[in-house]
Amino acid sequence: MLWDEKLVVQNARAGTGEDKIKGRVITYVDAIREALAYKMDEDQNVFLLGQGVDDPGGMFGVTKGFKEIYGASRVFDTPVSEEGMTGICVGAAMTGMRPVYFHNRPDFLLLTFNQLVNHASKIHYMDNGQHTVPMVVWSAIGRGWGSGPQHSQAIQGLLLSVPGLKIVMPSTPYDAKGLMITAINDNNPVIIIEHRWLMKRTSVVPIEPYAIPFGQGVYRRHGKDLTIVGTSQAIDLAITAANELEKEQEIFAEVIDLRTIKPLDEQIIIESVAKTGKLMVVDTGWVMGGICAEIGCLVAEKAFSCLKAPIKRVGLPDCPSPAGFDLEQLYYPNVQTMKHAMLELFNSDKEVNYDVRVSQ
């Protein structure tokens, strides 16, 4: 059994020292591993599959060593046949199994759309609830080393409009563990989209198992001047930008991490906008359509009277991802992008002139 609390604590505390003051500190990857190990030990119906889950690297380290512990019948590599293997997962889930299907790029999810959109998300509805499809599809965006247009896409916006799917996008090790446990427990198909740049992040994570409910956002910082809403690595950038602006110009931004985009925590968004009157939506995906558009429309419909300025969106421009390093620096939003957008929003109801560069 991998879920050995004593061993987990020893491994997590090795060389950190922080745990003595703040609690047990582990990495994002180890947090996911703990969630998987707990569910694998608890439920024999849980199994892991995907291209590379049993490789020495183990899917960015997330599944490393699991085949040796749980055996090849529960942790196994798959052919390059994403639709076929997703169909097998759907069938297995309908008969009581709980597959967790790993992809090392969200781009490969595009090959599963027939099974995800036409079958997994609709079966419970079409047969009047006779069957459930408790399956998890996990993927990590691969940007940062010139992956190019076909290996670094953030496609959550394409899946957002599909009824029956749940979509999870954590930003912290704590959330990665709790949301993975919730996802495996859920009787519906769940998509988890991770970000590679978060994989080495560390934070305090309890040793005991815990589940984080879907559809509950969280305040990452409180403020009075403007509201920032988003998920995943975009929230990391926004928090850094907000901290810098508070020190430099005493602009106090409220930052909300949605954690899941389907279901969406509408209440926390409207609550914050009612307080600040200004909204900036940040995403790791394209600005057109998707999360930015959905949240902007939500606030326009349900909290328009609270707005003091037009809604601001920060995400990817309407073009494919470049492969060259220099072009990547222009294509992807960064802390400076976030700060400039926040300044523009903060000053949007004032008669002032300033130089702003926003990657949109």
3-state DSSP assignment of residue 60: coil
Interatomic CA distance for residues 357 and 15, integer angstroms: 41
3-state DSSP assignment of residue 172: coil
Can you give the pLDDT at residue 324?
85
Tell me if domain 5-204 and domain 218-346 are identical in fold.
yes
Q: Quick one: 5-204 is in which CATH superfamily? A: Thiamin diphosphate (ThDP)-binding fold, Pyr/PP domains (3.40.50.970)
Can you give the pLDDT at residue 71?
97
| Residue 340 appears among annotated catalytic residues | no
The pTM of this model reads 0.90
Mean predicted confidence (pLDDT) in 104-132:
94
**Nearest partner of 292 among 237, 360, 219, judged by Cα:** 360
Residue with tokens 């959109």: 117
**In sequence order, what are the beta bridge partners of 167?**
191, 262
Q: Percent of the chain having pLDDT more than 90?
A: 80
Q: Return the C-alpha torsion angle 220, 225, 231, 234, nearest 10.
A: -110
- Contact, 34 vs 8, CB < 8 A? yes
Which pLDDT tens digit goes with each residue over 223-250?
A: 999 999 999 999 999 999 999 999 999 9
Is 211 a residue whose pLDDT tops 80?
A: yes
Can you give the pLDDT at residue 357?
45
Decide if domain 218-346 falls under CATH 3.40.50.150. no
Interatomic CA distance for residues 255 and 10, integer angstroms: 34
Can you give the pLDDT at residue 115?
97
Q: From the candidates 103, 119, 124, 151, which is the catalytic residue?
A: 151
Under DSSP, the state recorded for 309 is S
Which pLDDT tens digit goes with each residue over 129-168?
A: 999 999 999 999 867 667 788 888 899 999 999 999 999 9
Query: What are the residue ranges spanned by the domains of the chain?
Result: 5-204, 218-346
Interatomic CA distance for residues 177 and 174, integer angstroms: 6
Can you give the pLDDT at residue 352?
44
Which pLDDT tens digit goes with each residue over 78-87?
A: 999 999 999 9
Is 358 a residue whose pLDDT tops 60?
A: no
Interatomic CA distance for residues 295 and 313, integer angstroms: 10
- Contact, 230 vs 238, CB < 8 A? yes
Is 353 a residue whose pLDDT tops 60?
A: no
